[in-house]
Amino acid sequence: MAATIPPEESKRSERFRAVPTLMRKLGLRGRFLLALLPSIVAVLLLTGYASYTVSEEYLDIALRRSVSANTLAVAHEMEGFLEDCRTELLFFAQGTMDRASLRARFSKRLAAGNTSCFELGFVPASGGEAVLLVRQGEIVREVAGSDLGKVRPSPFAELDRLGSVKAGQVTVSEVQEVSYPMPSDSAANRYEDARIIRFYTAFPGDGQSPPGLLFLSVRASAFRNILSWYNSEQSPLWSFPRSDELRFSYFLNREGWILFQSEDYAKPDGKLTTYFAREDFSGALGKAGHPAAFLPNRNNLRYWQAVEDLRAGRQGLRLIADTHGGSSEVDSFFFSYAPVAFRADPSSKPEVYGGVVLVDRSQLPAIAGYKSLDVMLLVTLAGILVISLLVYWFGRILTKPIRVLAAEVNSLSSLEDMEEIHLPYSGYDITTLQNSINNIIRRVRRQVVEIQAKDEAILNVNKRERAPLEREREALAEVELSRIPEIVGTGSAISAMKVNILKAAQVDVDVLITGETGTGKQLVAEAVHGHSNRAERPFISINCGALDENLLLDALFGHVKGAFSEAREDRNGAFVEADGGTLFLDEIQSASPKVQQSLLRALASRKIKPLGSDREVAVDVRIIAATNVDIPSLIERKSFREDLYYRLKVVSIATPPLREHRENVALLSVYYLKQAEALAGREHLDLSKGALAKLIGYDWPGNVRELVNCITRAAVMAETDVIQPEEIRLENELYSDAAIPVVRSSLPESGGEPSVRETQEVRDEPVSGGDEAEMNERQREAWAILRERDTVTRREYQELVGGGLPSRTAIYDLQDFVKRGLLVKRGKGPSTRYVVAGRK
């Protein structure tokens, strides 16, 4: 009995046989290639990734060893330098301590090429004569016996070390600042300052010279130059080109003070600095005899763990994530450290004198080791590329009709301008798909018109309703009960600022407030004062940018009668007026160098000297400074003193711009609207939903101050109790001279196409006539072009005007031309066109 084939299966087989054999083969090949491509790509990627991982691991090991070796080499070089100084001092101890003998030996050592020795001194324990020799260029100068008492610190104070040092043993000091009297023919009271490291040993006496203390000094910069040497191209370890990334080292003592960092090796006599070393840390700047020294805070755990390791004589290396961002191409850096030890004598146990830290952000892998890695990567990419090209070529042939159809669909950027698609391809599949898409386009075009009318009507009505601001009013009530009611706002930015205000108020230190113009820096200063223990004392505010140099000095420090021609009586300055309270210095960046110097002196001593007076007046004033610029950039341009900046920036508070806490725009609007009611003589004013959305969507370059002005202006100009969007006038309004449009709309009429009355201008009289004088500037320019055309669509009008003209504004202009009788509207919905009156 023969099997019976169902009719459905028979029809399906006929359709399959109707497809050409070649098309079936090409289709199968295409599906095969598409199935094979991901597997091949995955294998190639996994192979490349495995090779990359192994290479990266071994390169990382090589890098770590290179950085460790560099750090240990620097530490060893510094130890050798200390050992040479110890040996040099013991050499000077082999002989008599009279002036002539010491000077002769010192001069010979300098002539022999010893460039590190700077000072040689002998202080007898009792009897005898003290000798102090100082190198000045290529000569040796002796500090006269009558001038020894002027040396600071006094060399006689060094005798205290005799109890802790023995003959043959050497001890070494910290970096210290010494001032020497160096009179000359032109300046009898001339002094020279130097930062030095001293080495001490006891002299037991030899019959000719009494027992005493012998010391040898070197400039701290000579010790620092070891760091600079190893960080330069003259380094003995230099064997490859350095990248441009930041790479530096610094030296710290046993207590954790960072004493100096590496500098430009071409400038061996440069000052000791720590600005790179302290960049990642917060802490205290300056110590006795070394103002550039820096002590990081204890919360810098990575640093203090390294200090503990160094005290114990241990080296270390860590890979730290780089949080600097900016233009750096590295995302981590090496933090390597090693101890620097010193022996009092060859038989004693070495003691840790300090430590050297190397911070290396160099792109060493990209320069020294990735050639082979690049080759493997290129091979992998080449394999992927070849297979991809084959698949792309076959797939392009098979899918070209579908791709063209998809491109046509994607080109339909606007629902209003959707047109039916007609492709020059035949075939059952592509024709069926094209007809289906065209049917969808026709239905969508009909529905778009209906939806637009309904949405427009609902949206416009909703925008004019009162905005629900009950939550903002409740939040305002909570703010009034908070610890800082004068700061209005919620959220993380404002909360963090309030916390900083309270922290600053609890301590009696100077404060620096930074922030853009209009962010409430003075309000923050008043809050810090009001919550401090000085709240009952005066709060004096000075705007440094509003006064010239002389007036500002007079306003700050006052003057005495006769100080200048206009000084007819004594006047107390702001420092005296604010005694016991707070002095707020706004726009501190505007202060001249002379004012900055006077402020620095006043902050350092808490004493001021009125203009024309020789008497200093002690003041108890807390300084709060504010600026709206980046002071570090001014420091780089030498227009602001770095030491004044760090004097002021004991505590820093940043006032966030309004665009960074937009969640407070509604809250601030309600708050200032209440204030504006009193100024405008109005009551029960509210914002509409559209007005509130307009306020929230604006960037507020003028910050809160601009918001206050905008709200006040709207409160004055509002025609009803509800402020509408058109009554909110922002600084970036595109056409500030154009009339404010009022949107009116109606729901679709039953039984036909929707009817929408577009935006129209509010006028005392109906719009009529074609007088160009009544048009705005944009319309007059557009009409000059429209008169040369027969017809125009809304989109063509937008392109004709240019400047990103919104759709709503274009519709308003065209409707206005229709009411003036200049244009005639033809069609509805997306097919609407506007014909110049009198033309077909």
**Backbone φ/ψ region at 305: left (φ over 0), alpha (ψ -120 to 50), beta:** alpha
- Asked whether the predicted pLDDT for residue 373 surpasses 70, the reply is no
- Asked whether the predicted pLDDT for residue 127 surpasses 90, the reply is no
Confidence at residue 11, expressed as pLDDT on a 0 to 100 scale: 54
128 compared with 624, residue with greater pLDDT: 624
As a three-state string, the secondary structure of 228-297 is: HHHCCCCCCCCCCCCCCCCEEEEEEECCCCEEEECCCCCCCCCCCCCCCCCCCCCEEEEECCEEEEEEEC
- DSSP character for 823? E
Lowest mean pLDDT among 107-111, 150-154, 765-769: 765-769
- Asked whether the predicted pLDDT for residue 736 surpasses 60, the reply is no
94 compared with 748, residue with greater pLDDT: 94
Buried b (16+ CB within 10 A) or exposed e, 453-481: beebbeebeebbeebebeebeebbeebee
Lowest mean pLDDT among 456-465, 599-608, 717-726: 456-465
Confidence at residue 829, expressed as pLDDT on a 0 to 100 scale: 64
Q: Which fold has domain 507-656?
A: Rossmann fold (3.40.50)
pLDDT, mean of residues 646-655:
93
Confidence at residue 30, expressed as pLDDT on a 0 to 100 scale: 55
The CATH number of domain 660-727, selected from 3.40.50.1980, 1.10.8.60, 2.40.50.100, 1.10.287.470: 1.10.8.60
Confidence at residue 780, expressed as pLDDT on a 0 to 100 scale: 85
Alpha carbon distance 259, 221 (integer Å): 11
CATH class, range 223-369 = alpha beta
Q: Which fold has domain 758-836?
A: Arc Repressor Mutant, subunit A (1.10.10)
Work out the end-to-end distance of the chain between its first and last CA atoms, rounded to an integer number of angstroms. Answer: 77
Confidence at residue 328, expressed as pLDDT on a 0 to 100 scale: 56
Residues present in the chain in total: 840
The secondary structure element, H or E, covering residue 429 is: helix 428-463
Confidence at residue 78, expressed as pLDDT on a 0 to 100 scale: 93
The CA–CA distances, whole Å, from 354 to 272, 365, 820 equal: 16, 31, 88
Burial of 304 (0-12, 13-18, 19+ CB in 10 A): middle
Q: Nearest 5°: phi and psi at 793?
A: -100, 170
Read off the pLDDT of residues 22-45 as tens digits, 9 standing for 90 and up. Answer: 444 444 445 556 666 677 777 777
Read off the pLDDT of residues 521-560 as tens digits, 9 standing for 90 and up. Answer: 999 999 999 999 999 999 999 999 888 888 898 899 988 8
Confidence at residue 253, expressed as pLDDT on a 0 to 100 scale: 94
Percent of the chain clearing pLDDT 90 (strictly above): 28
Q: Which residues contact 94 (CB under 8 A, 6 or more apart)?
A: none
Confidence at residue 330, expressed as pLDDT on a 0 to 100 scale: 65
Q: Nearest 5°: phi and psi at 820?
A: -80, -5
Alpha carbon distance 178, 132 (integer Å): 12
pLDDT, mean of residues 762-782:
60
Burial of 765 (0-12, 13-18, 19+ CB in 10 A): exposed
Percent of the chain clearing pLDDT 70 (strictly above): 83
Mean pLDDT of the chain: 81
Lowest mean pLDDT among 313-317, 770-774, 795-799: 770-774
pLDDT, mean of residues 771-786:
79
The secondary structure element, H or E, covering residue 88 is: helix 21-92
- Asked whether the predicted pLDDT for residue 768 surpasses 70, the reply is no
Domain assignments of the chain as residue spans, ordered by start: 223-369, 412-463, 507-656, 660-727, 758-836
Confidence at residue 405, expressed as pLDDT on a 0 to 100 scale: 73
For 251, other C-beta atoms within 10 Å of its C-beta total 28
Alpha carbon distance 166, 162 (integer Å): 7
Asked whether this chain's domains 223-369 and 660-727 adopt the same fold, the reply is: no
603 compared with 383, residue with greater pLDDT: 603
- How does residue 366 score in pLDDT terms, banded at 50, 70 and 90? low
- Asked whether the predicted pLDDT for residue 665 surpasses 80, the reply is yes
